[in-house]
Structures are given as C-alpha cells and as structure tokens.
Amino acid sequence: MVGQGAALDACGRLRSGLIVPAILETTQVTKQYPQSEQQILSGVDLSIDPGETVAIMGPSGCGKSTLLNIVGLLDQATTGSVSLEGESCAGWSEEQRAATRCRKIGFVFQRHHLLPHLSVLENVLIPTVPARSGEGARERAQELLAQVRLDHRLAYRPAQLSGGECQRVAVVRALINQPALLLADEPTGSLDHDSSAAIGDLLVSLNREMGLTLVVVTHAADLAERMGRVLTLRDGTLHA
C-alpha cells in the first residue's frame, strides 16, 4: 500500500515523500496472562520500516519475547493492534495468522528447534511444505546453506552439528520462504562467543544483502550495537 504526503509515524518520526507503510506496526499493545495479575506489556507502540534492523533489549522477564511472539503472530495481544505491511491483523483466524507467518515472517529462536529425525536440508525445507514453494525450494535451500557454509552438511542430522551450526540452520530455515521480516529471539543466547559473533555477522549481512527487515531480541550488547536501532523494554513499554 503506497500513500502520498508526509506524516508522523507512531513513534513520532517524520516520513517524507512517498509514504511507505511500516512493515510492522503495533499500537498500544498490552499483554496480561490469565493467571497473572501483572501486565507484561502495557501499551507498546512500535513501527519498523522495511529493511530496518532493530534490537530490543531489556532485563529478563520484561516481556521481550512476549512482544516478539505478538508481533510474529505467535501470540495475541490482550489489547492493542498489530499491523503487518499496513494491514491490521486484528480479527485474523488462526489459519490466516499461520499462513502469514509462513509467507512473510521468518523466526529464529534461542533454541534452534530442529527436528532431530530430519537432515539439515530437510529441516530447512520444512516451511516450504505449507507454503507450497515448489521445486525451486531445494535449490534455494542449498544456496542458503552454502551461504552459511553448511553445504557440506546437507545430510547431517541435528545431533551431528555444533550449537552454532544448528543455529545457522535455524536461520536458513527462517529465510527459506523469503520473508520480508525476520524475528530472532535471543539467537545467540545459547552460543559461545565465536558462534554468537558468526550469527551476528550472518544476520547483519542478510540485512545488507537481501534488505531483510530484522528484529532481534537480545541480551547481547555487541549484537544489539550492530542493529540500526536499539529499543529497551522497561515497565511494559518501549523506550528508544
């Protein structure tokens, strides 16, 4: 959706010229779990432009992952709205949300969540099944795996890989359907320094080379520093 004129976005930043809608936008998002009296998120406004890289930081338990799950359509906000590419996700069915996740969003979790009985290549191809990505998927997967230097491990099972390698496979899996938005939840949380650095390099390079929008939840300051924008979640709201 393309509009004209200048406007302020939800965060008060001026957009000019052709108005390109935010790839991701949240308005007054709150979250309270049924069994909990505490509100995890209390009115989060966030707008992320296409190609932007954003790091969200904050102390443990502040709601970073919850926010990421909400914007990634893995969870629903108690109140407030989420829009993707200018389209509100309010009222979407489970299946609509799943289809959107499949086509537009890539996820990288703290743990890789690779299926242990499948090979590296098969794990990468898993999202292509509901997306019906066709025959090119296998070649694309091999290319991506080559980019992350895992082309020699195509037939390996996850148990035969190192933690860093598993996480690289998870990143490739998140990219296989060519999403516009990549969400990473502490992608280096369980990795050593070198592996963490490698994953950081990979994510940044993906942004540069593919124009991928990147939202990373992390505790790692060095990774956060490599993002274009760093936001801190505190007391249920985001702060620049």
Partner 1 sequence: MRTRYALRGFRHYWRSHAAIILGTAVAAAMLVGSLLVGDSVRHSLRLFALQRLGQVDAAMVTHGHYVDGGLAARLSATLREPVVPALTMHGVVLVEDEAGERRQLNHVQVIGVDARFWALSPGPAPTITADSAAVSRNLAERLEIAAGQEVSLRISRPSLMPRDAPLAARSEKLTRRGTFGVSAVLSDQEFGRFSLAANQIAPYNIFVDLAWLQQTAGLVGKVNTLLTGGPENRTVPLQDGLDLSWKLADVGVSLRPCDGGLQLESERVFLTPATATAAMLGEGAVGTLAYLVNKISLGEKSTPYSFAISATPSANSALSLVPEDLEDDHAVINQWLATQVDAEVGDTIAVAYYELLPSGKFEERTREFSVHSILPMSQFMTERDRMPEFPGLTDVDSCSDWDVGMPMDEAALEDEANEAYWERYRETPKLAVTLEAGREMWANRFGNTSAVRYPGTELQIEDLQRELTSALSASALGLFFVPVRELALRAVDEAMSFGELFVSLSFFLIASALMLTALMFVFGIQQRAEEIGILLGVGWPRPQVALVLLGEASVSAVLGAGLGSIAGIGVTKALLAGLTGNWQGAVAGTPVVFHLEPATLLIGFLVTVICALLAMALTLRKLLRREPRALLAGSWQVDQAAAAGRWIQVAGWGCFLGALGCVGFGLSGAGQHAVYVFFGAGFLLLMSGLCAARFLLVRLDQRGRERLTSLALGLRNSTRRRARSLTAVVLLASGTFLVIAVSSMQQDLARYAHQRSSGTGGFAFIGEATLPFPDPLESAQAQETFRLEDSLNFISCKVRDGDDASCFNLNRAQSPRLLGVPVEPLASRGAFVPSPDDELWQLLNLDLGPNVMPGLVGDANTAMWTLRKKVDVEQGDELVYRDESGAEFRVRLVGQLPSPLTILQGTVLISHANFATRFPSEPGYRMVLVDVLQGREGQAERLPARLERFGLALTPALTRLQEFHSVEAAYLRIFMILGGLGVVLGTLGLGALVLRNVLERRSELALLRAVGYSRKALRSMVLGEHWLLLALGLLLGSVSALVAVSPTLAAPGMHVPVAAILSLLATLAAVGVLSVMAATRWALSGRLLSALRDE
Give residues in contact with partner 1 (CB under 8 A): 65, 69, 72, 74-75, 94-95, 98-103, 107, 109-111, 113, 115-119, 122, 125-131, 157-159, 173-174, 177
CA distances from 200 to 85, 130, 193, 221, 224 (A): 25, 29, 10, 11, 9
Minimum separation from the CB atom of position 112 to partner 1 (A): 9
Minimum separation from the CB atom of position 4 to partner 1 (A): 34
DSSP letters for 214-238: EEEE-S-HHHHHTSSEEEEEETTEE
Minimum separation from the CB atom of position 226 to partner 1 (A): 25
Minimum separation from the CB atom of position 107 to partner 1 (A): 6
C-beta closer to partner 1: residue 47 or 133: 133
Cβ contact 140:176 at 8 Å: yes
C-beta closer to partner 1: residue 42 or 133: 133
Beta bridge partners of 53: 214
C-beta closer to partner 1: residue 16 or 93: 93
Query: What pairing do the DSSP bridges indicate for beta strands 24-32 and 79-84?
Result: antiparallel
C-beta closer to partner 1: residue 99 or 204: 99
Minimum separation from the CB atom of position 71 to partner 1 (A): 13
C-beta closer to partner 1: residue 129 or 221: 129
Minimum separation from the CB atom of position 74 to partner 1 (A): 5
Contacts of 177 (CB under 8 A, 6+ apart): 102, 103, 106, 127, 128, 131, 133
The neighbour count for residue 149, using CB atoms within 10 Å, is 12
C-beta closer to partner 1: residue 101 or 226: 101
Contacts of 66 (CB under 8 A, 6+ apart): 31, 40, 41, 75
